[in-house]
């Protein structure tokens, strides 16, 4: 299952915590905008962001190799707050700024 969170734009440019960098095997500091698997702007100016981050080998292509592990889900709950996590059914009615980016 994929989890998502809605964030303001300024949160996307925060460097990921060292623990996340180490867990994901990233070789340098990355922002959430650089490594989020899905990062799409909503009409209200906020962003829908997947909690699953790109695999360290495929950052430029924003690709993942598997679904979120239990450890990744736990880290997302700690980082974003469990009450802020959304699943697929909860994002169906969102209004995107550029729908063609999603399709």
CA separation for the pair 12, 93 (Å, rounded) = 22
Averaged pLDDT, 31-41: 93
Per-domain residue ranges of the chain: 3-102
DSSP 83-101: GG-EEHHHHTT--BS-HHH
> ∠18-24-26 over CA atoms, to 5°?
70
Structure pTM? 0.86
- pLDDT tens digits for 63-93? 999 999 999 999 999 989 999 999 989 998 8
The answer to whether 75 and 23 are in contact (CB under 8 A) is yes
């Amino acid at each position: 299952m994929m989890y998502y969170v809605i964030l303001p734009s300024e949160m996307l440019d925060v460097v990921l915590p060292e623990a996340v960098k180490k867990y994901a095997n990233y070789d340098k500091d990355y922002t959430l905008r650089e490594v989020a698997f899905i990062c799409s702007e909503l009409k209200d100016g906020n962003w829908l962001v997947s909690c699953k981050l790109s695999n360290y080998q495929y950052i430029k292509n924003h690709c993942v190799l598997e679904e979120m592990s239990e450890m990744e889900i736990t880290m997302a709950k700690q980082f974003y707050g469990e009450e802020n996590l959304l699943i697929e059914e909860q994002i169906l009615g969102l209004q995107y700024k550029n729908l063609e980016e999603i399709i």
